[in-house]
Amino acid sequence: MAKAKKVRDDVDESLIEATDIVSLLSEPGFAEIYDREITQIECREGFELPSVDLSESLPAVLCASSEEPKVDRCKIRLWSDFKPIEGDTLEKVIADIAKCESCDLCKTRNKTVPGAGSSYAKLMLIGEGPGADEDATGIPFVGKAGQHLDKILAAAGFKRDEVYICNVVKCRPPNNRDPKMEEMAVCSQFLQRQIHLIKPCLIACLGNIAVKYVIGPKAPGITRIHGQWFDSVFGIKTMPMYHPSYLLRDNSREKGSPNWEMWQDIKALKQKYDSI
Ligand code: SF4
């Protein structure tokens, strides 16, 4: 893991989310199933992570609990265990998602939201889960946050139909709560198939919750690591970015504001994209 040469001096420490967010997302005893080292593989000058002992960031409750998680462990599939399905297609993935009842999110969904975009996308954007507008339409990122994301992508020179946009979980969590780590792990069977079929070169991970799944539960908060490049559970270079709904909370475009930072990140992402 990269060691710090310089800690960002423009970050309000109060904005750095506590890494024990994992404790809010996970059933006791779950973490050891999914635990992984966080590997930073590239950074822009002045943005390198401080050297922190991430092993201390996991809450004790996750490390030493006799309680069994409620989700069936046999349904949890790690990328290292992934076995491609012969003859698989994105259409089959969508059909399997539509009839999936592997977690309780199926009980409250209206429509499944598998993902949308090019089957040959070099870039995959991954959010945490569908919201109300997505649940109503079956299309990812179509609400106000999605429209904001569209503007950001267009401003950077991306066409929405040249990338692939999806979420870790394909059904809306009730009342827009965060998806639990177990739900993400169970649902990842579909994300794994999508990634295997599309074979993106780059992933942009939108928001703290998706980062905890795609990069790892020990990943520091998004305000600290957005815009950096990390190895991901899929072995694909991944940049954490702010979730567009977070950006809607602050209209400022001033230097240092979340929207300004997003603009720096999307420009860096486009530069990398164009170089591939
Ligand atoms: S969230 Fe995923 S695993 Fe859960 S029911 Fe929906 S498609 Fe199945």
Q: Is residue 56 part of a domain?
A: no
Cα 124 to ligand 1 centre (Å): 20
- Report pLDDT for 191: 93
Q: Is residue 124 part of a domain?
A: yes
Percent of the chain with pLDDT over 90: 54
Work out how many domains the chain is built from and give that number: 1
Q: Is residue 200 part of a domain?
A: yes
- Model confidence pTM above 0.85: no
- Report pLDDT for 44: 53
User: What confidence tier does 274 reach under pLDDT thresholds 50, 70, 90?
Assistant: very high
Give the span between the Cα atoms of 145 and 17, in whole angstroms. 21
Are residues 47 and 227 in contact, defined by beta-carbon separation less than 8 angstroms? yes
Any idea what the CATH number is for the domain that residue 186 is in?
3.40.470.10
Give the range of the structural domain holding residue 192, as residue numbers without chain letter.
19-46+84-274
Q: What is the pLDDT of residues 111-150, one digit of tens each?
A: 999 999 999 999 999 999 999 999 999 999 999 999 999 9
Burial classification of residue 159, based on how many CB atoms lie within 10 Å of its CB (0-12 exposed, 13-18 middle, 19 or more buried) = exposed
Q: Is residue 123 part of a domain?
A: yes
- Report pLDDT for 6: 35
pLDDT over 60 at 95, yes or no: yes
Closest CA to 202 of 157, 145, 152, 163: 163
Q: Ligand 1, residues 70, 75, 105, 188: which to mutate, most atoms within 8 A of Cβ? A: 105
Give the span between the Cα atoms of 122 and 74, in whole angstroms. 32
Cα 171 to ligand 1 centre (Å): 6
The residue ranking higher by pLDDT, 165 or 64, is 165
User: Bridge-partner residues for 127, per DSSP?
Assistant: 167
Q: What is the pLDDT of residues 149-206, one digit of tens each?
A: 999 999 999 998 899 999 999 999 999 899 987 888 889 889 999 999 999 999 999 9
